[in-house]
Amino acid sequence: MPEMSDDELLEALGVEQEIEKTSSHTPREERIIAGFEEIQRFVERHGRVPQHGEDKDIFERLYAVRLDRLRALEECRTLLEPLDHQGLLSNSEIVPDDPVESMDDDELLAELGATGPLGITELRHVRPRAEIRATEEIAKREKCADFDRFRPLFEQVEREIKSGVRQTRSFGKDASVNTGNFFVLGGQLVYVADKGDEFQTPNGHSDARLRVIYSNGTESNLLLRSLQRALYKDETGRRVTEPLNGPLFSETWDEGNIESGTIYVLRSLSDHPFVAEHRELIHKIGVTGGKVESRIANAAHDATYLLADVEVVATYKLAGINRTKLEGIFHRIFAPAQLDLTIYDRFGHPVRPKEWFLVPLHVIDEAVRRIRDGSITNVVYDPGTAGLVVLAQ
């Protein structure tokens, strides 16, 4: 038998040879490409380029900043043009205000994408300067042993940011730090779980020790002023606002009060077997700026109202409040009890109406009271006890 070469022997054995691929790109170029591919996936999902604006999701706004940088740097355009099948680099509708030439390598790479895998609640950040903080600034991060207590809070806050119930604002406008505050720092949500007693530093400033929980499941025991400095240094550092600010309702209307809408609670008169059986528990919660009667006039022909007439069982007037955001609060509170029911419209199309919940009327009334006095924060409906519960902090 003639002697076979190594290649012939492998082929005879049915072993495919895997040629090791060597990248022609530097680590820096690989990071630039990875950052651009994230933008491409966003465009594929949403059918448009990421845009700036306070009304946009924080992820979209950060992608928009990154795309600005890629368009502005000739080096990046040359690298990415062969990959730009969507024509993103040729669309220069957004021009960055500050010159990119003055950035060092760390800052430039930060604009073009972060390194490392992202957790499900971790936000892409723009500048890693916030990550490269000195040890005395951030203290030592450790695994949070009781993170399961805090995970629901992070998930809830993310939902509220996306729905507009909460907003993210530049940290410098309000530098206070207190227990229960949320921030965005280094691309992550940060929660102040505990604040110790204040003390005077040698230079006469007030400070306090904090227990800070991060959305990636870690925590640190750092000083209040260290957190403040880190938020100032991070150009994408943000304060997450509370769900509600100021009074929402008024029992008596003084001159100058402006009524901005009405919360209405409806009960369906549908003869659907499930609805008929649970009629006293099934309620629709909505908010309108007009007359409730006008809103429900065509209920029997509208799948939103279960294609049946309804009765109004409660109304609450609003004063100076964003109706859409308030509606989002109700949906967040009662999400665990959302009615899972499919009906068919007059064209035979299946419809799953929203805003209907299996919740007793007195619990809805309690939720309104809590919204009035501001105690609705971290409250959610528990179907097991048929009542509102405060999530552990």
pLDDT of 37 > 50? The answer is: yes
pLDDT of residue 111: 42
| Domain map (residue ranges) of the chain | 27-113, 130-240, 259-390
pLDDT of 87 > 80? The answer is: yes
- Residue identified by tokens 């190594």 is 6
pLDDT of residue 249: 53
Q: What is the mean pLDDT of residues 302-330?
A: 82
Segment 58-78, tens digit of pLDDT: 778 888 888 888 888 888 888
pLDDT of residue 348: 78
Relative to beta strand 188-195, strand 209-214 is antiparallel
pLDDT of 159 > 70? The answer is: yes
pLDDT of 355 > 90? The answer is: no
Query: Is the Cβ–Cβ distance between 168 and 240 less than 8 Å?
Result: yes
Q: How far apart are CA 107 and CA 143, in angstroms?
A: 28
Segment 212-267, tens digit of pLDDT: 999 999 999 989 988 998 898 888 888 988 765 444 554 444 444 444 678 899 99
- % of the chain exceeding 70 in pLDDT: 74
Q: How confident is the model at residue 269 (pLDDT cuts 50, 70, 90)?
A: very high
pLDDT of residue 248: 52
Q: How confident is the model at residue 21 (pLDDT cuts 50, 70, 90)?
A: very low
Q: What is the mean pLDDT of residues 107-127?
A: 40
Mean pLDDT of the chain: 76
Segment 295-315, tens digit of pLDDT: 898 888 888 888 899 999 998
Segment 189-225, tens digit of pLDDT: 999 999 888 888 777 788 999 999 999 999 999 899 8
Q: What is the mean pLDDT of residues 329-339?
A: 87
Q: How confident is the model at residue 3 (pLDDT cuts 50, 70, 90)?
A: low
pLDDT of residue 244: 53
Mean pLDDT: which of 25-29, 48-52, 370-374 is highest? 48-52
pLDDT of residue 246: 45
Of 25 and 380, the structure prediction assigns the larger pLDDT to: 380
Q: How confident is the model at residue 97 (pLDDT cuts 50, 70, 90)?
A: very low
What is the rounded end-to-end Cα distance, in angstroms, of the chain?
77
- % of the chain exceeding 90 in pLDDT: 15
